[in-house]
Structure 1
Amino acid sequence: MENSLFKKSEKKVRRALRVRKVLRGSSLKPRLSVVKTNKHIYVQLIDDSIGKTLASVSTIAKSSKAAGLVKKNQGVAKALGVQIAEIGKSLQVDRVVFDRGPFKYHGIIAMVADGAREGGLQF
């Protein structure tokens, strides 16, 4: 008999793989990956062709803490989206592929996407 927590984490991995098997980021159009945990939000620009993270922001980064973005809520999520868009512009990235992972496009995930769009990223 399997543990219910194991089943839950296994389903989460399957959902993420189902989303990611369709998405591929490149140097011209990197993948914008959003991960949320119980306490923090992580946002990354990833180039899958070379397997490298181009830029990242999170609620645990020193720059975010200095700006007061330490709590996990929708306002902070939108600010992180704007920050990653500014970093993307400095890297000459204007188009991305949005990777929501195993999470629904709702709440914090949607606010990160809205913030990135406001910052100038297209997807």
Structure 2
Amino acid sequence: MKRKIRGTQNRPRLCVFRSNKHIYAQIIDDTNKQIITSSSTLTKEIKKNITLSNNCSAAQIVGKNIAQKSKKLGIDKIIFDRQNKIYHGRIQALAEAVREEGIKF
């Protein structure tokens, strides 16, 4: 059973999507139905720093990038949405990189 995870203005939702080739992260405010910021292995500044886009080191770079963007916007607490994927591998690497940058969830 899938449960609904909702973000608010005070605690937006960090939604992580993992495909076979890439990983995507978005910070979403569900009350206003708005994407606040996003990052993925396809963005220009990340794409030039990685050699492979489907490994844990690429996920860590995306995690650090999304955390830095959210800190600039004044967001320090979020709700983590892994979309029914297990907390392992690339999802775990991204989440731990976000926590290392000081974002709490």
Q: Same fold by TM-score, threshold 0.5 exceeded? A: yes
Corresponding position of 1:88:
70
Corresponding position of 1:26:
8
Structure showing the higher helix proportion among its residues: 1
Aligned identity (percent) is: 39
Corresponding position of 1:57:
39
Give per-residue Cα distances to partners, 1:22-71, cap 9 Å, x unaligned: x2101111000100101110001000001111010001111211323652
CA 1:86/1:73 → structure 2, altered by over 3 Å: closer, same or farther? same
Identify unmatched segments of 5+ residues in structure 1: 1-14
Q: Does residue 58 of structure 2 align to residue 76 of structure 1?
A: yes
Give me the whole-angstrom Cα distance separating, in 1, the residues matched to 2:29 and 2:100: 22
Identify unmatched segments of 5+ residues in structure 2: none
Give the TM-score normalised by the residue count of structure 1. 0.80
Q: Which has the larger radius of gyration?
A: 1
Give me the whole-angstrom Cα distance separating, in 1, the residues matched to 2:51 and 2:81: 22
1:67 pairs, out of 22, 46, 49, with 49
**CA root-mean-square deviation:** 1.3
Aligned to 1:102, the other structure's residue is in SS state coil
